[in-house]
Amino acid sequence: MIKSIITDIKGSFTLKNGVKMPYLGLGTYQSENDQEVVDAVKNALQLGYRHLDTASVYKNEEGVGRGIRESEVDRNDIFVVSKVWNADQGYEETLKAFDESLDRMGLEYLDLYLIHWPEVGKYKETWKALEYLYAQKKIKAIGVSNFLKHHLEDVMKDCKVVPMVNQMEFHPYLVQQDLIDFCIENYIQYESWSPFMQGKVFELDICTDIAKKYNKSVAQIILRWNLQKGIVAIPKSVHAKRIASNADIFDFELSNEDVSFLDGLETGERTGPDPDNFNF
């Protein structure tokens, strides 16, 4: 369990290449590409967040870019992430999709670019494109999302650069500790999406009990659990109070017993698609 490096909202984990990735970020999935996402980004940055996560398929990259420009935070101090969608995978297609994402955001580079899903027959060529963009210094770090162990091993068989990040569905019912351990062994930073099980975690009495113990909300308990396991968390919200509440997790620490208890809730239940069985 990682303790000493959890400091404050601007703290980070260090990727294999030395790039610092803030361990708490703002997710923008389903945030509307209008004033909604602009305000969410500005609110988060004002509160001290320095990590923003979007994707081409979210259709809000323009709004995220606008929020960055309208904030008072220097672009170089913000860790910006986007992802290449399945329909855009392949070598040349990925290069084009990356340029289009940059144009939409109005940025000159990305801090992290991910393959959104392991599109069979395409993700290895897509990875080669990411390696090229990384070599051209258009991206500070490259990684994947929704890649299981066998997907990672397939990429690692003949890649020049090992993925630096793997963004996965992660919550008390889907811990996948074996995959986390594999990523740790290979210096791949684990990152979570859907840490609240699309809201289902708030219905679990056991999580409510832990929240009462620490005088914190269930969301704060879950996010703190993420960080103490060395996992980057990007909770999504467009509400200023919720964005602030999600960041109020640096004045307490879960006991080893409570971390282990949350780990032990694993059932293998997914709230999102199975990386081995999706059709989009």
Active-site amino acid positions: 58
Token pair belonging to 72: 């008072």
Residues 6+ apart with CB under 8 A from 187: 15, 16, 162, 164
Task: From residue 78, give the alpha-carbon distance in Å to each of 47, 66, 81.
Answer: 13, 13, 10
CB 61 within 8 A of CB 98: no
Residues 6+ apart with CB under 8 A from 202: 196, 218, 219
Per DSSP bridges, beta strands 165-169 and 20-22 are unpaired
Cα 51-54-178 angle, rounded to 5 deg? 75
